[in-house]
Chains A and B, each alone.
Chain A
């Protein structure tokens, strides 16, 4: 009959209207600042530098591989030197420009020392466009426990591999230079 299509359409919309009050599937909006969706483990955003015990003793040895591999060249590394001017195995400067970083995760994949990883943090708004978004070494460093918390599956794998490497290094008579383990996490 003429006009029934109109009524049918109206029945659909009013059903949706009442479903938002009665059914659980009615409204699926997650009201973000108060509530949020659970984070996915493999989600990646910006890199962090991990340390085992003390924040000053980063795993990073300032080898500059990540800086060279970084496609948009957002990483700046300067090697630390001791009093005699001999280079140390730690970075003096480790800056990542978050305005340039494109969250590709290549730094994490290329790092032979398991020192740089992608974090889950994404609420990074700043009032300053330039300086506030260049993250220094101190702002980038996170304990290993933090990484274990956000990405437990990856952390377990890496821990096992590092333990194996450590026993191998200890078994060798001479302390060999750190093995470039090219495993990808």
Chain B
């Protein structure tokens, strides 16, 4: 089978090369640039390479996420999904893109033209921006900021603003209702989301995403601890709500308010909203993977493959949610965020505090105990009051 001269160390070396293939590629281009260009321009080239790659990979990820979503949801519903354009429908996103580009761009008469135009542009910017903060692999973060996580949350929350901007500019009651819902929902879910990420910051003593990933070498992922697991679940649920996906898709609830905040958008502007949503799905899944699943950490396979495996695994769960759950009611949505996720994430912070100061066995037992008990209590408190079965109804005569 294998060439006898081909030893295990060769495979290891080959894997290491494969691991750093993108880093090497960039270094080669940089060396080339250094020999031709003056120093300040080389810096510019370095930036442009990173920006160019991220700006190119963003739309590609979005396009194939639409394909993946249609395929997975189709399979869940016993359908095949797109299969006409190209093998397995792989060219479907391109066909859709051409369709979107050639569609008529309609701006409502009463709309605020500037806001209406600005909103889809502004909504994509933060979604693309956060991709630069992600560690795509070993030495593969575009920028390794000391406040990466903080900036990540700061940038993602500005997406809400552009959603409201567009809905307000559309001058449509459905748009405005959708946007009001979006703002209410995103503000409420931002808090448990950040709280459940605070756990990781407490443990690793850093806000840099790259450093957080470095703190989980091998299989020491945070998800294998009681607080990590709880944190992942809470963070993930909050993330699903953050990107307005089912079962938290109230801002664009088709059956209630037409299409929510993007009712008045067509063609490429609509596609940009869609792109922002899918990029957010990707970046939040990637962040969840980085915080709790060890990011690119993993044995044998190249680091960037591990990163994509984990990210797409989490994305698959989001699509799975979409194929399973009906939409929540507004009061259920708010109640879930404030009455369950928030207290649970606060208790999780207590657990990680104990984890830091107690001995391992005590920390494990106490951690599991606290989480289990508080889950039980919160579940009991969240269950609705049930009317007794043998209640007597006296009819009026």
Contacts and interface: CB of A to CB of B under 8 A. Distances in A.
A3 B323 contact: no
Interface stretch (A26-34, A37-45, A156-164): A26-34
A6 interface: yes
Contacts of B78: 16, 19-20, 26-28
A98 B79 CA distance: 34
Given A9-B324, A14-B320, A17-B75, A29 B80 contact: yes
A2 B379 contact: yes
Given A9-B325, A14-B320, A29 B79 contact: yes
Interface string B59-83: 0000000000000100111111001
B284 to A, nearest CB: 20
Given A1-B379, A2-B383, A3-B379, A17 B76 contact: yes
B320 A13 contact: yes
B158 interface: no
Chain A, interface residues (CB within 8 Å), range: 10 to 19
B382 interface: yes
A2 B376 CA distance: 8
Contacts of A14: 76, 320
Contacts of B72: 17
A158 to B, nearest CB: 42
A88 interface: no
B76 A13 contact: yes
A31 B325 contact: no
Contacts of A2: 379-380, 382-383
A21 B80 CA distance: 10
A10 interface: yes
Main secondary structure of the interface of A (DSSP, over half): helix
- Per DSSP, chain B at the interface is helix
Contacts of A20: 75, 78
Contacts of B77: 16
A19 B380 CA distance: 36
Contacts of B379: 1-3
A32 B382 CA distance: 50
A13 B83 contact: no
B261 to A, nearest CB: 27
Interface in B221-257: none
B158 to A, nearest CB: 31
A13 B80 contact: no
Contacts of A3: 379
A140 to B, nearest CB: 33
B69 to A, nearest CB: 13
A52 B28 CA distance: 80
A118 B320 CA distance: 48
Contacts of B380: 2
Contact of B324 (A13, A21, A29): A13
B89 to A, nearest CB: 12
Contacts of B83: 31
B80 A10 contact: no
Contacts of B382: 2
Contacts of B320: 10, 13-14, 17
Interface in B341-397: 379-380, 382-383
A104 B288 CA distance: 62
Nearest to A7: B324
A26 B78 CA distance: 6
* Residue among B320, B323, B325 with max Cβ neighbours from chain A (10 Å): B323
Contacts of B76: 13-14, 16-17
Contacts of A28: 78
A30 to B, nearest CB: 11
A28 to B, nearest CB: 7
Interface of A: 1-3, 6, 9-10, 12-14, 16-17, 19-21, 26-29, 31
Interface of B: 72, 75-80, 83, 320-321, 323-325, 379-380, 382-383
5 contacts: A17-B76, A17-B320, A21-B75, A26-B78, A29-B79
**Which 10 A/B pairs are nearest by Cβ-Cβ distance?**
A2-B379, A13-B324, A20-B75, A17-B76, A13-B76, A17-B75, A13-B323, A9-B324, A10-B324, A29-B80
